[in-house]
Amino acid sequence: MAIYAEKNAQGETLFILETEKSTYQMKADTNGYLLHLYYGDRIEREDTDYLLHKEDRGFGACPYDLGRNRTYSLDSIPQEYSAGGAGDFRTPCISAEFENGGRTLDLRYVSYKELEKKPALAGLPALYETEENKAQTLEICLKDSAEDLYVYLLYSVFEKEDIIARSCRVENRTGKQVALNAVLSACMDINEDSPLDLISFWGRHCMERNVERRPVAHGKTVIDSIRGTSSAQENPFVILCDPDTTEDFGRCWGLSFVYSGNFAATAEKNQLGLTRLTMGINPEGFRWNLQNGEVFQAPEAVFCYSPMGLTELSQKYHQIYRKNLCRGYWKDRRRPVLINNWEATYFGFDTEKLVAIAETAGKLGVELLVMDDGWFGKRDDDWSGLGDWKVNEKKLPGGMKALCDRINALGMKLGVWFEPEMVSEDSDLFRAHPDWFLHVPERGYSRSRYQLVLDYSRKEVRDNIHDQMAAVLSSANIEYVKWDMNRHLTEVWSAGLPADRQGEVYHRYMLGVYELMERLLTEFPHVLFEGCSSGGGRFDAGMLYYMPQSWCSDNTDAIERLEIQYGTSFGYPMSAVGAHVSASPNHQTGRRTPFYTRGVVAMAGTFGYELDLNTLTDEEREMVREQVAFYKKNYDTINRGDYYRLTDPAKNTEFCAWEFVAQDQKKALLFGVITHVRSNIAMPVIRLKGLKPQAKYRLLCKAEGVGNSEKAARALEGIYSGSLLMGAGLRIPNLRGDWPSFCVELEEVQ
């Protein structure tokens, strides 16, 4: 039983949520406030409210109905879901404005109930139950003390996964309109004055999800996006941890937002040293007019606690997202090895070029050709064509079906690139509907990549794009869609809403994107959808609900990808990471990297190629054949196994290593890249993880470098115990050359 509720003699109700390794406690106290008591290591079912420190503090505002009691201030008591305007001066979870202009909310406990199933969230992505992974859900009802405004807090507990999914909905029964200025999804007050670190993931185009760790200081640290997407600049996933927490030791709390639009995560330490962490839709630019009888549903936030360090925390997110967030036909199936023509041809392709690439690729074991940007409308560059999703038959004579039939005849699948949320000014769609993009009348508007953002808050816009996309997908045996989104939202104003509801556009836009995705997934269930936003600019848990993988970054440089994929792995499964072998010199950095190394790095995700195989040497084409065969053979270990970060590439400038271990621990893969080859040194020892201590493993090692690199790799081969490899470790091979790499296969010997 994961949910426990008990009422004591004072009329207080204690709520306890239990997972295998954690306990979450809260209490509706005698004053009617829902207080947060504890979230951490699994403990006995004992009330921890004795840790609350109530005292008369200067400038502490106390609730009116407490009379002369000056020791009860909402500003110093840990709360479960704080409201604005009533004495808590920290970040509020909800802020509302009533008809008289008042902005004070005073939420008091009303009731609770346990739900038999985890509820779906209308129009929003969320975790779901399976037969294997069940959840129990607690719903707590709060009400404003003066108005009939209700807040329902939902807690869904996945017990064996150590996951608690939180969301809330607001219901207006006041008989009047209420304006919501903020509705966050989750809050955690840590009731101890102890130092904590905040880990977040910042970036930019072509360098997403860099790891940044800093102490939580007095004041507020805000990790957010107001770009209309989750963005490359910040990611809606953060970690709180003790300062001494490492990969294998220490307390850490993860908070992941299942949403793809504007977000804000705020960590703050108050004057007493108490830490609050919140997550939800960014209040900046948000205002939702909630009419009487209406309900506003906030997105879901996913909590996870680990007492055993960052690796365990990451693996728990990997498991829950693979099993209880990703959906559909491709959730558990092996995804095809693909080749994308973008860096091979850019806009300059036709049927014959594509068929030539596919013919060579098919012979080498590649299974899917993705036709990228440029196949539609008037699209020979990025100035025009977006919004006109009709085949350009000058490039593709006979249309999509003719191309698809030829690709299928080679034993290959065909995939197609779309950018459905955008429109070019030079397009038939824009000329027919010049008011369908986001802009403020009588003002200029911003261009980014020479394109504008369609107003997805409007149903007629979504219907038009849906009909165009559905016509293309129905016209041929298309089995993959790359859904791209290459600019952020500016001049966010909709002709479909009145002036007093323009604060709803950001969120309605995101709901519209989700609605179209759901519609297409329902109609074309066997199509594999991959997310993209100039690479990893919308790489978040919300997208995983619709698309089981996303293009991790437009930066395909293998050495840069070491850091990008490292940061991504903290919150997202490697099965979601689109990673490809690209040309050398690399198109983004000009770096020349060995072909084998490019393959080693791209193995940490959904594998493919981003080049013209016909330009490769015979030796390189044979390496492609070997890489594809190796990936298919080890697909389950890579995409369903446990992932271990063995080095931090931003700190270890000598080498980078990572490991995959199969769920049954019978197989493992150790990958490594030497990022700084040095002369006359003792190569470092690396300790493996996740093996069976008493089992014996046969090691096979392959490496590429110059000189005696392959001989050095073969010297590692032999049979070793799991305890030896995890305790004493393995000295990595002494490789030479520019960015050499190695792969060690481990298989249990019976």
pLDDT tens by residue, 240-293 = 999 999 999 999 999 999 999 999 999 999 999 999 999 999 999 999 999 999
Average pLDDT score over the chain: 96
H or E element in which residue 353 lies: helix 351-363
Query: Distance between CA 141 and CA 157 in Å, rounded?
Result: 17
**Which pLDDT band, with edges at 50, 70 and 90, does 709 fall under?**
confident
Query: Distance between CA 525 and CA 329 in Å, rounded?
Result: 6
pLDDT of residue 71: 82
Residues 653 and 632 sit within 8 Å (Cβ to Cβ): no
Question: Quick one: how many helices (H) and strands (E) in the chain?
Answer: 14, 38
512 forms bridges with which residues in the sheet?
none
pLDDT of residue 64: 79
Arithmetic mean of pLDDT, 62-77:
84
Residue 747 token pair:
């298989």
Residues 581 and 611 sit within 8 Å (Cβ to Cβ): yes
Residues 108 and 145 sit within 8 Å (Cβ to Cβ): yes
Residues 739 and 559 sit within 8 Å (Cβ to Cβ): yes
Of 491, 579, 599, nearest to 539 (Cα)?
A: 579
pTM of the model: 0.97
Give yes or no for residue 580 having a pLDDT over 80.
Answer: yes
pLDDT of residue 712: 81
pLDDT of residue 714: 86
pLDDT of residue 65: 84
The domain defined by 3-324 folds into Beta-galactosidase; Chain A, domain 5 (2.70.98)
Chain centre to alpha carbon of residue 482: 17
Query: Distance between CA 747 and CA 666 in Å, rounded?
Result: 6
Q: Is 620 a catalytic residue?
A: yes
Query: Distance between CA 292 and CA 99 in Å, rounded?
Result: 12
Q: What are the residue ranges spanned by the domains of the chain?
A: 3-324, 644-749
Q: For residue 17, which phi and psi values (nearest 5 degrees)?
A: -110, 130
**Which pLDDT band, with edges at 50, 70 and 90, does 55 fall under?**
confident
pLDDT of residue 477: 98
Arithmetic mean of pLDDT, 101-123:
95
pLDDT of residue 58: 79
E strands within 1-55?
A: 3-7, 13-18, 22-28, 34-41
Q: Is 460 a catalytic residue?
A: no
SS3 600: helix
Catalytic option among 518, 620, 626, 738: 620
Place of tokens 């490039």: 395
Query: Distance between CA 111 and CA 132 in Å, rounded?
Result: 30
The domain defined by 644-749 folds into Immunoglobulin-like (2.60.40)
Taking only the tens place, the pLDDT of each residue in 302-329 is: 999 999 999 999 999 999 999 999 999 9
For residue 54, the tally of other CB atoms under 10 A from its CB is 13
For residue 682, give the DSSP letter: P
Query: Distance between CA 608 and CA 635 in Å, rounded?
Result: 13
pLDDT of residue 73: 85
